[in-house]
Structure 1
Amino acid sequence: MFKSASNKQKVITQTILVLISIMYIIPMVYVLISSFRGGGVSNYTYLFTSGFPIIRMIFNSVLVSVLQVTLIIAVSSPAAFSFSKIRFPGRDTIYLVLMLTMSISLLCFITPLFQTMKFLGWINTYAALVLPAATFWLPVAILILKNYYDSLGNELMEATKMEGGGYFTIWSKVYAPLSKPATVNVLVFAFINSWNDYLNPLLFSRTDEMRTLPMAVISLTSSIYGARPEIVFACLVIMAVPSIFIYLLFQNHLGEGMTSGAVKG
Structure 2
Amino acid sequence: MTIAPSVEMFDLRRRSAQVAGYVVMAGSLIVLQFPLAWLLATAFKSRGEVFSVPPTWIPREPTLEPFAYAFSPIMLRFFFNSVVIAAATAFTSTLIGACTAYVVARLRHWSSNMLMVFFLCSLAFPLPLLMITLYLTLSRLGLIDTYFAVIIGHVVLTLPVVIWLLKGFVDSLPVEVEEAAYVEGASLFRIIWSIVIPIMRPGFTAAAIYVFVTSWNEFIFGLTFTTSSSMRPLPAGIALLFLQEFQYQWPQMMAVATTATVPILVLFLAFQKHFVEGVTVGAVKG
Structure 1 residue 149, shift from structure 2 partner: 1.7
Matched residue type, 1:208: S
Indicate which of 253, 259, 263 corresponds to 1:232.
253
Matched, 1:124 2:132: no
What residue number does 1:241 align with?
262
What residue number does 2:31 align with?
23
Indicate which of 143, 150, 161 corresponds to 2:182.
161
1:67-146 matches, within 5 Å, as 67-87=88-108, 90-146=111-167
Distance 2:113 2:248 in 1: 56
Matched, 1:62 2:96: no
Structure 1 residue 208, shift from structure 2 partner: 0.7
Which SS does the other structure have where 2:97 is aligned?
helix
Indicate which of 247, 254, 265 corresponds to 2:275.
254
Indicate which of 215, 220, 223 corresponds to 1:194.
215
Contact 2:105 2:112 in 1 (8 A): no
Which region of structure 1 is more displaced relative to structure 2, 101-110 or 52-61? 101-110
Q: State the identity as a percent.
A: 24
Structure 1 residue 158, shift from structure 2 partner: 1.8
Matched residue type, 1:185: A
Structure 1 residue 203, shift from structure 2 partner: 0.6
Higher helix proportion: 2
For the structure 1 residues 171 and 229, does the alpha-carbon distance in structure 2 shift closer, same or farther, using more than 3 Å as the test? same
CA RMSD, 1 decimal: 2.3
Matched residue type, 1:144: L
What residue ranges of structure 2 are gaps of 5+ in the alignment?
1-12, 47-61
Distance 1:256 1:47 in 2: 35
For the structure 1 residues 111 and 255, does the alpha-carbon distance in structure 2 shift closer, same or farther, using more than 3 Å as the test? closer
Contact 2:219 2:235 in 1 (8 A): yes
Q: What are the superposed Cα offsets for residues 5-59 of structure 1, whole Å, 9 maximum, x if unpaired? A: 933333333333222222221100100110110271121113334xx51111110
What residue number does 2:234 align with?
213
TM-score, scaled to structure 1: 0.87
Which SS does the other structure have where 2:230 is aligned?
coil
Distance 2:276 2:130 in 1: 35
Matched residue type, 1:191: F
For the structure 1 residues 85 and 12, does the alpha-carbon distance in structure 2 shift closer, same or farther, using more than 3 Å as the test? farther
Contact 2:165 2:203 in 1 (8 A): yes
Contact 1:128 1:204 in 2 (8 A): yes
Q: What are the superposed Cα offsets for residues 74-101 of structure 1, whole Å, 9 maximum, x if unpaired? A: 1111211111124368433333222221
TM-score, scaled to structure 2: 0.81
Which SS does the other structure have where 1:222 is aligned?
helix
Contact 2:219 2:236 in 1 (8 A): yes
Matched residue type, 2:71: F
Which SS does the other structure have where 2:71 is aligned?
helix
